[in-house]
Amino acid sequence: MNTMSDLSTPHTGLAGLPAPNRHNASAPRTRRKNSRRCKSLTHRTLPRCPRTGSAIAVALTTPMALAFDTASSSSRRKPALSAVQKRAPVPRPHSRAALGAILLERELITEAQLNAAIDQQKRTGRRLGHVLIDMGATTQDAVLGALSVQLGLPGMRINAYTVKAEAIEALPEKVARGLGAFPISKVGTTLTVAVATPLDLEAIDNLRFASGCEIHTVVALEDEIGSALDRYYQADGIPHQLAQDTEEVVVEASLVDRRAGGDRRHVGGRRATDLLYSEPDKFDEAAERSAVTILDRVLARAVSEGASDIHLESTLDSFRVRFRVDGTFREIATFAPQLASAVVARLKVLSGMDIAEHRLPQDGRFSATVGSRRLDLRSSTYPTMYGEKAVLRLLDRTALRLHLETMGMRGKVLDQFRSLIRRPEGMILVTGPTGSGKTSTLYASLAELVETGKHIITIEDPVEYALNGVNQGQTNEKAGFTFARGLRAILRQDPDVIMVGEVRDPETLSTAVEASLTGHLVFSTLHTNSAVATVARVVDMGLEPYLLSSCLSAIVAQRLVRRICPTCRTEIPTPAGVSHLFAGCAPETMYRGAGCHDCRGTGYRGRVAIHELFVVNEELRSLILERAPEPKLAEVAARSGMVALRDECLTRVREGETTLEEVVRLTQERS
């Protein structure tokens, strides 16, 4: 078997040509002899370096050959190297074993799978690694690990790596795409580049010449290199991943943008990187048009990726866009810093903010339709030393799941909670950090109670989703309509069920307790780390223990954990040393996401809520009245059937829904 055929088309060696002969003394003379002819052709046909204006030798058919338009195979010539293209030593392969042999040795594939893959490779000309992955015989991680051993270079999963702007700027896009290379990082004058064929010495020379840096190579999968090139490089000032989002975006602003002729207007603009502003308060028509285009495409991308928040941030040398997806950040795009003022100004206009105010934080909201998705967006700005930072919270009306089961509540917890929300009076508190789904749980509870025909009324800040059959009110601090004032007004509206968006102060708390003690069922939220800790928090807010023990029905502590991506879900042996987490009964195998296109290399897709239900019985009422410490309350609650958040998360690990890493993250959040 050809030792290098695994990396290229069959029987052709690395990159479609025999490996370079380092010991051929005539090679330099041949290059000098043909340099004039190659140089002439190169300057006529090839892209030029933006720094020097010199032509760059880019492979048109294979990474090691420049294909001339002639039928004669003798017409193939290597492009001439300029004086500045000095050949640097490239690490030699650590092992010359074939990729298939390495995978067999590691027992990652069977001989039958290898033979079938080789047959398919001969028919299609595709790389053996990609054939094996597509057959389902092995994983991307396994192939990358084998390539790393074969070539003697570190391997990298690009999709799980965040790349800095300076690395992208160091290598022109035409060169990167032509050579199938992706810049990973830049430290000083050294550029780390991911390539699928790292032994292509001529490509390394071209990378060095185009970037002006010393090149350090790592091996990566060809598909991931192509995906990364599309994600990070920009066309006409707009990143490819934004330019490809063509879903129609129709915005309904809080304040009509009369200067732009209405918020439904969508027009093209100049290159975003060409926009320079000397005065942040004054931007021209072209700037405004580009801001409209960029903001629309950012919204479209956020919807397609399932982002919950969009962050627009100004730094010293860039204006970047980040999404929060499944609770973690992803950097999506970077722009010239001069563009920030136009985009933030556009957002302010849509949100009904004061466009001339840059010194104070502001809040607003607007609606938008992206394709068939109806969005409500809450926006806020915050002044920083490099300009205003803006955050948009996306509330997708069409994605709202108003069912307790679909949110992750199940089994005994679901049955108990449904029984509690059907009581005629009492107080139910939902606790957890910001972004843990507390409001969604309350909405799902109210949606179930709508069917009972009860009069339900809310006071929120703000109203996140419109619920049929529920009278929803929103606070207005400027007008003096606070939670406490709104709650007092609600009590005169003959309600059966009351929802208070958040207990923020002692006045709101005392009014909510009064409502629950006078024949009303009251729902609200608090920010605490656990159900048991909520008791001490409420007492610290000034509520007497005898009142709390009388009105409190239950506390639900909630977290969101990331789900393993179903597309790349892979079974793995249970790591050693974790049996104590499962009380000595750890499963033999667990699951994780290997990383794929669907999950963008993270191994996770979507989130599910886990719950800790603290039901107040007579014994717990007595302990609350006696101001018992948290450990005692937790002990009695566990004896009464409460399952702690950590234990519920471990159950989801055992069932293959999430990972041990999520258990660690959950534990850190509560510490």
Q: How far is CA 513 from CA 13, 445, 543, 615, in A?
A: 78, 19, 9, 17
Does any domain span residue 578?
A: no
What pLDDT score was predicted for residue 293? 82
Q: Using the predicted structure, report yes or no on whether residue 303 has a pLDDT greater than 60.
A: yes
Domain boundary among 398, 421, 439: 398
546 falls within a domain = yes
Domain presence at residue 589: no
Q: State pLDDT tens for residues 148-195.
A: 787 778 888 887 676 777 888 888 888 888 888 999 989 988 999 999
- State the average pLDDT over residues 445-455: 92
Match 């009064």 to its residue by tokens. Answer: 514
Looking at the fold, whether 198 and 210 belong to one and the same domain comes out as yes
Structure tokens at 572: 């793995």
Let me know whether 533 and 488 are in one domain: yes
pLDDT, tens digit (0-9, with 9 covering 90-100), for 200-227: 888 888 888 888 899 998 888 888 888 7
Specify whether 222 is located in the same domain as 253.
no
The answer to whether 582 touches 650, Cβ cutoff 8 Å, is yes
Ordered alpha helix ranges (H), 49-127: 99-105, 111-124
**For 459-485, what is the mean pLDDT?**
89
Of 398, 433, 449, the one marking the end of a domain is 398
Are residue 161 and residue 223 in the same domain, yes or no? Answer: yes
The candidate with the shortest Cα–Cα distance to 628, out of 555, 538, 506, 535, is 535
Domain count, the chain: 3
Q: Domain check: are 383 and 431 in the same one? A: no
Lowest mean pLDDT among 90-94, 499-503, 520-524: 90-94
Cross-sheet strand order for the sheet of 181-187: 181-187, 190-195, 214-219
Query: From CA 421, how far away is CA 426, in angstroms rounded?
Result: 9
212 and 271 part of one domain: no
Query: How much is the pLDDT for 234?
Result: 57
Q: Are residues 198 and 347 in the same domain?
A: no
> Above 80 in pLDDT, residue 29?
no
Contacts of residue 146, defined as CB under 8 A and 6 or more positions apart, other chains included, come to 99, 102, 103, 106, 108, 129
- 203 and 245 belong to one structural domain: no
pLDDT at residue number 587 = 87
CB 201, CB 87: distance < 8 Å? yes
pLDDT in the model for residue 249: 64
Per-residue pLDDT, 669:
61
Q: What percent of the chain has pLDDT over 90?
A: 36
pLDDT band of residue 65 (cuts 50, 70, 90) is very low
In a domain, 584, yes or no: no
Say if 324 falls within a structural domain: yes
Q: 517: domain range? A: 411-559+608-643
User: How confident is residue 282, by pLDDT bands cut at 50, 70 and 90?
Assistant: very low
Cβ burial, residue 629 (10 Å; 0-12/13-18/19+): exposed
Q: Is the pLDDT of residue 313 over 90?
A: yes
Q: Does residue 325 sit within a domain?
A: yes
pLDDT above 70 covers what percent of the chain?
A: 76
Q: Would you say residue 130 has pLDDT above 50?
A: yes
Q: Is residue 598 part of a domain?
A: no
Q: What pLDDT is attached to residue 547?
A: 96
In a domain, 146, yes or no: yes
Q: What is the pLDDT of residue 621?
A: 96
Q: Are 351 and 368 in contact (CB under 8 A)?
A: no
Mark whether 333 and 289 lie in a shared domain: yes
Lowest mean pLDDT among 86-100, 359-373, 473-487, 541-555: 86-100
**Average model confidence (pLDDT) across the chain:** 77
- Tell me, yes or no, whether 54 and 137 share the same domain: yes
The CATH number of whichever domain residue 242 belongs to comes to 3.30.450.90
- pLDDT recorded at residue 248: 58
Q: Give this prediction's pTM.
A: 0.59
Average pLDDT over residues 542-549: 95
pLDDT band for position 97 (cuts 50, 70, 90):
low
Q: Where among 367, 398, 429 does a domain terminate?
A: 398
For residue 361, the model assigns a pLDDT of 94
Residue 6 confidence (pLDDT) above 70 = no
Residue 440 has pLDDT above 50, yes or no: yes
Same-domain check for residues 251 and 328: yes
CA angle (408 as vertex; 599, 440 as ends), nearest 5: 90
Q: What is the CATH number of the domain that holds 487?
A: 3.40.50.300
- 289 and 366 in a single domain? The answer is yes
